[in-house]
Structure 1
Amino acid sequence: MSQNLEELTHALLLAAKKAGADAADAMAVSGTSLSIDVRNGVLEQAERSEGIDLGLRVFSGKRQACVSSSDTSAQTIEAMCERAVAMAREAPEDPYAGLADDDMLSDARGAHGLELSDPSPEPDPTELQQDAMQAEAAALDHTGISQVQTASGGYSARSVHISATNGFSGGYKRTDRAISCVAIGGTGAEMERDYDGDSRIFQSDLRDAVDIGNSAASRALERMGATKPPTGSYPVLFDERVSSTLVSHLIAAVNGASIARGSSWLRDALGQQILPEHLSLIEDPHRARIPGSRLFDAEGLPTQRRAIIDNGVLTGWTLDLANARKLGMQSTGNAARGTSAPPSPSTWNLELTQGQQTRDDLVSDMGTGLLVTSMIGSTINATTGDYSRGAAGFWVENGKISHPVNECTLAGNLRDMLMRMTPANDARKHLSRVVPSLLVEGMTLAGN
């Protein structure tokens, strides 16, 4: 059988209908992944993988079932469709399950204009090894760096196609190119570790490997001699590297699946102010060369630019078809899925309003408090929004960075924290989540 993904999904649909399915959708994903790790100037590990995965969801009335396989033979496709239909007939009824009506489907069938795939050839493994070795050598060139835990170069290419019996059929290609480095300073109990890395769709946009190694080393050395900070209530500045975690907790709370279950700390907040008035959170799935861009979602619906939070006010939930039906709403075109499970709500590219001040300005204004550059573990109560996370970073005294700190815990309530946020202007525009450094007043800090 041909390995053309569109043909494979259509073969799945035909076999599903033949097996007795009332409706079905299918997904085919083919991919290549290459990863190179070096240590002490020599190759430590090289991995390459290639494969095709098939996913099928079938409906028998209001009952559904999902099956998946990595075997594309005609015999396997026939068998998996028969198994899926048999499973669906035994599944409990779900009144909200079903495909999109054909008048809801996106006109787009690809990723035209989004530049999600670099047309240049797959890099040779020696190129990836050279990137990793340059990053490692640059890090080791810094006095005080005792070792590089890992230096890596990676590449992946993926093609996706989705088809359904409602008439939708569309797909796209995606590439990724990455370099990363983790440096360790000091020895024994005095060791400190930090990292840097970059991942881009286009090789030409990737940061220089030497720059990444230098940055990882500098960050590790800056953390040398860390101590525990004092316990108390202080302002906390979340560095741009970790500030997107706050937005992640917010996005999880407005996910339609959580709202439908009644398990979100924002379940009653629709139409209410949850951020300062001057802040908005915009989802834009149509940005070129950005990983989270899509013209259609996993159910074939068109994606759209929307303000999840508009001038501080929560405007809506993130919805796929099933959860929209549960809530008596319309899908926002945010369905995502893999080959082995039905769609669920997910967000695409996000951008939080940036401020006018630099991160250094916020450090100067915060007086005494904590600048967080890394976080460890997570205890978030999804129902109440109570927040507790381990953190490390730098102590700020009288508006100036004083010394590194570690082994501390931050605590608060996300609803209160979000209303006390002040953004800097340092967000990196090429990321899927464009979130600047965020200053949060009055958090509880547990240290010494």
Structure 2
Amino acid sequence: MTRALEEISQNLLDAARKAGAEAADAIVLDGSSVSVEVRAGALEHAERSEGTDLGLRVFLGKRQAIVSSSDSRPETLTAMAERAVAMAGEAPEDPFTGLADPDQLAKTWDMQALELFDPTPEPTAEALLQDALAAEAAALAVDGVSQVSDAAAAYGTHRVHLAASNGFSGGYTRSSRSTSCVAISGEGTGMERDYDGDSRTFQTDLRAPDEIGRTAGERAVQQVGARKPTTGTFPVLFDERISSSLIGHLLGASNGAAIARGASWLSDCLGEQVLPKHISLIEDPHRPRIAGSRPFDAEGLPTRRRAIVENGVLTGWTLDLASARKLDMTSTGNAARGVSGPPSPSNWNLSLTQGDQSRADLLRDMGTGLLATSMIGSTINPNTGDYSRGASGFWVENGEITYPVNECTIAGNLRDMLKRIVPANDARPYLSRVVPSLLIEGMTLAGN
């Protein structure tokens, strides 16, 4: 099938040339997935999907246009190319658009080292069903769980091939298998819910479904009796499950597209301290068996390991070709795209420096405050970094968890918050974003 994708992409480029395009690139995506959901010990929903999507981008000087389709017949490819060239002729000029220079392109890569695809056989629908049933049964076996709203298992493969008139051609295949469970405790207006789940590239790495179900059930039961916390200024420990959201705000603000628009609270912070001096944020797109790994970006540039923040200092922006040209910089090889839009900057695998204390150590030392385990909604000012998010979790007094809390708001400013983070050592190394629990002193809480 990989060969077929390459042929389709080359056929798209040939059609674009015949239609009058001066340059072009084509991306072809092909995937299949199977998923099952259970409820009350029986199959509730099963789905299998397969599909191929094509995207063609053409250039007439500094004018570009993009068309997409799910039909790969020759006549469709010709129609796509003719339509795209006609659209480009009417598009406004963009001085920053265009393909990569040939000397910028990735030339070689080691797909085996990345281990993006599990060669073991695809699981049967029955195997997925048994995983989902096992997760549900384990959750229901937890004392205090009243029901399981969702237990599911899935498997999928995803293939991509990119080709361009500058000479680039490359593709790869991914696989993933997952299990998830959402448990509910309590009754009526006192019901609380929580979840657990796991998704891996290699099926043998996946956690056991009964462990996932049991954890979801235990988390839901721990939320029974939740109430609003005290309003005031307190330390907040962002649990490892949600702490990566804080780093996500930093990544959004250091995205080259936001910087080029002038819509970032980090716009004047290049080369400045944005995290504590002993903490770095590393991007590594070459980690084996990790969902965010890739040998090249969506413009054919090689991906590479880099320090976004090194010893607390912001070292650079996340750039694709267009944003790099706007800022008079060089692309960092971080272009991502689908079939219907142009490339844009995106981050791959990330790891934040871990601390030397456990989450329990940070809880003990924080005194009185909030352990946040779930976030709800957000109001983030992209220009100032003002932060406000709904949260739930547990109230901590004298270093010990005392009762569950919900319906509270955490507020602060990201510029100040991120400089005060204290990391634990509990990050999960198999995630694409490896971020431990993070303690931040002096947060504003709005509860009772």
Which TM bucket (shorter chain)?
over 0.9
- How many Å separate the matches in 1 of 2:69 and 2:388? 40
Q: Which residue of 1 aligns with 2:167?
A: 167
Deviation per CA, 1:71-128: give whole Å up to 9, x if none: 0100110001100000011000000100000011111366231000000111110110
Within-5 A mapping of 1:384-423: 384-423=384-423
Q: Which residue of 2 aligns with 1:48?
A: 48
Q: Which residue of 1 aligns with 2:304?
A: 304
Within-5 A mapping of 1:166-185: 166-185=166-185
Within-5 A mapping of 1:155-304: 155-304=155-304
Q: Which residue of 1 aligns with 2:125?
A: 125
Is 1:334 aligned to residue 334 of structure 2? yes
- How many Å separate the matches in 2 of 1:337 and 1:112? 24
Deviation per CA, 1:144-195: give whole Å up to 9, x if none: 1110000000011011000000000000000010000000001101100000
Contact between 2:2 and 2:159, CA under 8 Å: does it hold in 1? no
Contact between 1:110 and 1:172, CA under 8 Å: does it hold in 2? no
Is 1:139 aligned to residue 147 of structure 2? no
- How many Å separate the matches in 1 of 2:281 and 2:320? 19
Contact between 1:96 and 1:326, CA under 8 Å: does it hold in 2? yes
Contact between 2:139 and 2:183, CA under 8 Å: does it hold in 1? yes
User: Which amino acid in 1 is paired with 2:388?
Assistant: S
- The CA RMSD measured in Å over matched residues stands at 1.1
Q: Which residue of 2 aligns with 1:73?
A: 73
- How many Å separate the matches in 2 of 1:330 and 1:226? 50
Contact between 1:2 and 1:8, CA under 8 Å: does it hold in 2? no
Q: Taking every aligned residue pair, what percent have the same amino acid on both sides? A: 68
Q: Which residue of 2 aligns with 1:104?
A: 104
| Contiguous gaps of at least 5 residues in structure 2 | none
Contact between 1:110 and 1:171, CA under 8 Å: does it hold in 2? no
SS in 2 for 1:4: helix
- How many Å separate the matches in 1 of 2:337 and 2:2? 24
- Please list every run of at least 4 consecutive aligned residues from structure 1 whose deviation after the TM superposition is greater than 3 angstroms: none
- How many Å separate the matches in 1 of 2:88 and 2:267? 31
Contact between 1:28 and 1:160, CA under 8 Å: does it hold in 2? yes
Contact between 1:109 and 1:170, CA under 8 Å: does it hold in 2? no
TM-score w.r.t. structure 1 length? 0.99
User: Which amino acid in 2 is paired with 1:63?
Assistant: R
- How many Å separate the matches in 1 of 2:345 and 2:374? 28
TM-score w.r.t. structure 2 length? 0.99
Structure 1 position 142, deviation (Å) = 1.4
SS in 1 for 2:114: coil
How many pairs are equivalent? 448
Structure 1 position 294, deviation (Å) = 1.1
User: Which amino acid in 1 is paired with 2:86?
Assistant: A
| Contiguous gaps of at least 5 residues in structure 1 | none
- How many Å separate the matches in 2 of 1:331 and 1:289? 25
User: Which amino acid in 2 is paired with 1:114?
Assistant: L
Q: Which residue of 2 aligns with 1:373?
A: 373
SS in 2 for 1:160: strand
- How many Å separate the matches in 2 of 1:170 and 1:3? 10
- How many Å separate the matches in 2 of 1:399 and 1:142? 27
- How many Å separate the matches in 2 of 1:5 and 1:290? 23
Contact between 1:111 and 1:171, CA under 8 Å: does it hold in 2? no
User: Which amino acid in 2 is paired with 1:223?
Assistant: Q
User: Which amino acid in 1 is paired with 2:19?
Assistant: A
